[in-house]
A and B are shown apart, each in its own frame.
Chain A
């Protein structure tokens, strides 16, 4: 059975801090790893990673995949209050999701 574990489960930081969110996985049919941001209801897409070692960047967010060690990290630099959300990681043929990391950024 596919498994995705995210850590930490929750995180509270202050504006300007840098955070690193972790996602480890065990899947039988790896195709890609995706990160989503869920602020209220609908998760919105952040990154899709398919190859090891290639960093994806979008503004203050970046992510990288390690297919040998079966994990990915999502970095957010210079955090803002608008970054407060649940960050979800998904992998595998059935889009198996982790339980997410709840990030709270305080002013």
Chain B
């Protein structure tokens, strides 16, 4: 069975550009969460979507947005990129709505470098 898949795996952008990251959850999982992991830190919660609705948002500026599609895949969009947005962006899927009631299944991440 396929796990959580993310694309692209690596990308380089320049300041001010826009980026779209994509995630496909494990088949049957309806919840997708996005995390930002800066080197040396733990993952920071950005968004959670469940059944195509936003169910949680972390402490990130409005330049960050996301959506979930009818097939439960998801996109994370970041506008007006800053150097500080350079990080590993992790997508995680789970069965239900609760983000920490059960196990999260993570993808391999998208490594974003902003120059």
Contacts and interface: CB of A to CB of B under 8 A. Distances in A.
Contacts of B28: none
B109 A48 contact: no
Please classify the interface of chain B as helix (H, G, I), strand (E, B), loop, or mixed, using the class held by over half of its residues.
loop
Interface stretch (B12-20, B64-72, B78-86, B93-101): B93-101
Chain B contact residues (Cβ within 8 angstroms of A): what range? Answer: 20 to 34
B42 interface: yes
Contact of A48 (B41, B48, B58, B103): B103
A93 B99 contact: yes
Interface in B34-59: 35, 40-45, 48, 56, 58
Nearest to A4: B42
Interface in B1-38: 4, 33, 35
Interface of A: 4, 6, 31-32, 34, 36, 40-45, 48, 88, 90-100
**Most chain B CB atoms below 10 A, which of A32, A94, A95, A97:** A95
A69 to B, nearest CB: 19
Given A97-B42, A97-B44, A90 B100 contact: yes
- In the complex, the 9 A-B pairs of residues with the closest C-beta atoms, listed nearest first: A97-B42, A42-B106, A95-B99, A45-B103, A41-B109, A95-B100, A41-B108, A99-B42, A94-B45
A44 B109 CA distance: 13
Given A41-B109, A42-B108, A43-B106, A92 B42 contact: no
Contacts of B61: none
B109 A88 contact: no
A95 B45 contact: yes
B83 to A, nearest CB: 21
Given A42-B90, A43-B43, A32 B106 contact: no
